[in-house]
Amino acid sequence: SRGTMSSSQFALSSQYTPKSVLITGGAGFIASNTTIRLVKNHPNTMFVVLDKMDYCANIRNLDPVKESKNFAFVKGDILSADLVNFVIKRYKIDTIYHFAAQTHVDNSFGNSLTFTKNNVLGTHTLLVCWRQNCKQIRRFIHVSTDEVYGENKEHEETGQKAAKQASNDAVKFDETKSMLLPTNPYAASKAAAELMIRAYMHSYKLPAIITRGNNVYGPRQYPEKLIPKFIFRLERKMKLCVHGKGTPRRSYLYVEDAAEAYEKVLFFGKTGQVYNVGTKDEISVLGVTKAIIKAFGLEKEEEKWIEFVADRHFNDQRYYISTDKLEEMGWKPKVTFEEGIKKTIDWYRKNRNHWEDTEISGALVPHPRR
C-alpha cells in the first residue's frame, strides 16, 4: 500500500556504506574468514587488517585475498596507539571492526593477566584512537562473546516442559538489557571491554555496535579449540581428551555462516545495538566428540578413541542466546553441524601444511597453557 516500504527498500535505505574498514586481529580464525568474504564481496571498500601475529594467527589464513587491490595487511599491536593512529590516517579508516582478542578459556585460567592486557587495555587503546579521530571514524563494531552472559542454569524439567521453558527464555531475551555475569577470566575480560565501550557510548557518543557470538568452527581455526584439536588428534591416531564427563552443551556455528553474519552487521547493523551471532541447535561436548569419530568412520570402536580427563577449574554447562535480531536482518545459519564437520575435516586434510608441527604440538594436549 502507499506509504509502506518493502523489505528490500528498507534494507537499501538502512544500509551503511563504509569506505575503508580497519579489521583488528584479521589473521585469526573468525576475522580472516570474515575478511575474505568482505574483500571478495565488496570490491569498492578498502579492508585493512592489523594483526600482531600472535601464536594463533596465521598469515596463510589471508592467502585468498593477499593480492586483492582493496586489501592491505599491517603487522602490529593494537596496544600501540601511535601505530593505530598512523593506520587510521594512512588508509582513511572510517570504520573499525574489532576482532582482536585472546580467546582460549583454558589459557585464561593460567595467564589471566594477558587477557586483561589484550582484551581490555587493547580495546581501550582503540577507543582512545577513535576519540582522537572521531570526525573521521563513523562506526566502531566490537566482536564479543556469548560467555559474557554467564551460565544458563540447566532446567530441571524434562521433555516438553523443558522445551517450553527454553522457548520462553528465548522470547524474554533482550541483549541490550541482559546482565553480564562472566564466570571465567576470558569472559570477564570481554565483559570489561564491553563496559568500556558502553561508557564511551554514553560519555563521548561513540557510534558502536556490539556482537556476542556462540562457538564457531571451520577452516583456518588454530587447533587449541575443541573441534580442530580433535580432528588433528584423530589424524595422528591419538585419543580424544574429553574434559570431565563431556556434559557441557554448546551451540556451534560454521564459520562461513558466522562471516555472513558479521557482514550483515557491518552493512545493516544499527549503532547502539547488541547482536547475538549463533545457532539455536545445541550439542554436548561428548556429542561433538562422537560426531567427529563418526565422520572419521570409527563409530564402531567409539570407546577406544575417547579418554576422559580432568575438567577445567570451572566449566559452564550451558549458554542459550536468541538470534532473532540478526534473523530480522535476513540472516540465518545455512550449514548443518554434520555438514560443517565434514567440510572442516576435508579442509584440514587438504591443508596439512597450513601450520608447522612445532606451531601446534603444544595445542594438542588436554589442557594447553600459554
The C-alpha cell that represents 201 in the structure block:
557510548
Q: Spell out the residues 6+ positions from residue 269 whose beta carbon is closer than 8 angstroms to its own.
A: 16, 141, 209, 275, 329
C-beta separation of 309 from 301 below 8 A:
no
Phi–psi pair at 275, nearest 5 degrees: -120, 125
Using DSSP bridges, classify how beta strands 249-254 and 282-284 pair: parallel, antiparallel or unpaired: antiparallel
* Rounded-to-integer distance, Cα 220 and Cα 32, Å: 8
C-beta separation of 251 from 166 below 8 A:
no
Q: Could you give the residue ranges of the DSSP H alpha helices within the chain?
A: 7-14, 29-41, 81-90, 105-110, 112-115, 122-132, 159-172, 185-204, 226-235, 255-268, 285-295, 324-327, 337-350, 357-360
CA–CA distances in Å: residue 251 to residues 106, 174, 202, 223: 18, 18, 32, 18
* Rounded-to-integer distance, Cα 95 and Cα 139, Å: 5
* Rounded-to-integer distance, Cα 117 and Cα 107, Å: 14
Q: Spell out the residues 6+ positions from residue 279 whose beta carbon is closer than 8 angstroms to its own.
A: 214, 251, 252, 253, 257, 323, 333
Which active-site residues does the annotation give? 146-147, 186
What is the dihedral angle through the alpha carbons of 130, 135, 136, 138, rounded to the nearest 10 degrees?
70
Amino acid at 255: V
- Crossing angle for the helix pair 81-90 and 122-132, to the nearest 10 degrees: 50
C-beta separation of 25 from 56 below 8 A:
no
C-beta separation of 61 from 218 below 8 A:
no
